[in-house]
Amino acid sequence: MKLKTLPATFCAAAMLVACGQAKQDAVEPVACPEADESGIIQIAPGLTGKITNRGYGRAAVAGDYADVHTTLWLHDDNAPGGRGTEIWSSGGVEPFQFMLDSGQVIKGWDLGVACMQIGETRELKIAAELGYGARGKPPVPPNATLLFEIELVKLTDSNRPAAE
């Protein structure tokens, strides 16, 4: 008798696990910070953003794969737009892909790319503690404030279809 109830028990347990997993996989709406009257977004202490081109669709969330084009400058208050020495650019040819909130990139990117939409271009001003810190990362010097221009060109999650 016990052998007959084992398959039914297993199926019931599997269904409960699957139902719980479906709840966990459901996409929760993300509370994204709003821009002030000058277009500046206060994302976190030491991290501000400015949307220079609006995007469309859902907001990027932790676990998404973000494909971006980017340029990095050392922030310089005396340079036009704060754009000091240009350090690196993807050149708009091959996007750079990373998973949000996985530690693959500096913390300023994980926080600053979250809430972006496909097609959006955003400038991120990132304090050293959310960038490369006191150690730097050549050619970025120690304690450098960074200025990135980031365009989100593709957003993908393994649990959802790709959105382009």
- pLDDT confidence of 162, banded at 50, 70, 90? low
What is the pLDDT at residue 38?
Answer: 84
**Sign (positive/negative) of CA torsion 103, 109, 113, 114?**
positive
- Where exactly are the structural domains of the chain? 32-163
pLDDT by residue (tens digit) across 52-75?
A: 999 999 999 999 999 999 999 999
State how far the Cα of 131 lies from the Cα of 1, in Å rounded to an integer: 63
* pLDDT tens-digit series, residues 63-119: 999 999 999 999 999 999 999 999 999 887 889 999 999 999 999 999 999 999 999
Range from 3-7, 29-33, 96-100, 118-122 carrying the lowest mean pLDDT: 3-7
Amino acid at site 56? Y
Q: What are phi and psi of 14, to 5 degrees?
A: -65, -40
Among the residue ranges 3-7, 69-73, 139-143, the one predicted with the least confidence is 3-7
The closest alpha carbon to 160, from 118, 119, 110, belongs to 118
Question: What is residue 120's predicted lDDT score, i.e. its pLDDT?
Answer: 96
Percent of the chain with pLDDT over 70: 77
pLDDT higher for 50 or 162?
A: 50
Q: Classify domain 32-163 at the CATH topology level.
A: Chitinase A; domain 3 (3.10.50)
Strand partners, 163: 155
Distance of CA 29 to the CA centre of its chain: 15
66 to each of 18, 20, 32, 142, 152, how far by Cα in Å? 28, 27, 17, 27, 7
AA identity, residue 58: R
Is pLDDT of 10 > 70? no
**In this predicted structure, what is the pLDDT of residue 164?**
55
List the single range of 19-23, 48-52, 137-141, 156-160 with lowest mean pLDDT.
Answer: 19-23
Q: Which residues of 23-36 are buried (b: 16+ CB within 10 A; e: fewer)?
A: eeeeeeeeeeeeee
DSSP 149: E
Q: Who contacts 32 (Cβ-Cβ below 8 Å, separation ≥6)?
A: 59, 114, 115
DSSP 88-100: EE-TTTS-EEEET
